[in-house]
Amino acid sequence: MRLRRHNSRRDRFRYKAHNVPAPRGWLSLPIYAVRTTAGQEKNVARLIALNAKAYNIPIKAIIAPESLKGYVFVEADGPHIVDKAIAGVRHVRSRVPGMVDLKDLERFLVVKPVIEELDVGDEVEIVAGPLRGARAKVVRIDREKQEVVVELLETTFPMPVTVDGEAVRLVRKAERSTGPGA
C-alpha cells in the first residue's frame, strides 16, 4: 500500500492512502488497553461510556472481560481519544502504550450459551422451529444434552415440549421467594 505524507506542518502525522484498497485487518478500529484497579473494571467501563457520551468522544466499543482483572479495552480512532475519555475517571491507572491485537482478545470474548442463564420456572420465548414466537415456562433443564423441557403458556392444558437450548430466549427470570417457609 502506498502512503503519501501531507506537506502541511499541522498534518505531519496524518497519512493518506491513494486509490489503494485497505488491507485486511484495517476494517476494525484500533483497540487500546486501559489499566484499572482490580475489581473496578465494570465501573470504569461505565464511567468511560458516560464521559464519551457527555463530551461527544468518538469511542466505538468498551470491553471489560470478567476473566481479565485490572484491564478495560477501548476501541477508538487513536490513543488521544482514549486519553480524553479516561481523563478524570476514578480507578483508572493509565493507558497501556501501544495497541492490542483483536486476536489477543478473542480468548476473553467467549459467548456464554443461553442455557447457562436459565433456571427452572423462568419464562422463555421459543425463537426457532415450528413453535417460534410461543412463550413457555421452563420445567426441566438438561445441560449436558443442551435441551430444555418447557410447558407452553398459551395452551389450555400443560403440554411439555423438549426444545434445543439455543432455540429459546430468556424473557423473565422466575421470582424466588426468600421469606420464611420458602
Give me the CATH code for the 3-105 domain, please.
Answer: 3.30.70.940
Q: How far is CA 105 from CA 14, 32, 72, 109, in A?
A: 28, 11, 11, 7
Report which residue type is found at 153: L
Task: State the architecture of 114-172 in CATH terms.
Answer: Roll (2.30)
Predicted structure pTM score: 0.53
What tens-digit pLDDT sequence spans the chain (182 residues)? 444 444 444 443 343 444 344 445 445 679 999 999 999 999 999 999 999 999 999 999 999 988 889 999 999 999 999 999 999 999 999 999 999 998 888 888 777 778 888 999 999 999 999 999 999 999 999 988 999 999 999 888 888 999 999 999 999 988 875 555 55
Domain boundaries, the chain: 3-105, 114-172
Spatial separation of the C-alpha atoms in residues 163 and 149, rounded to whole Å: 6
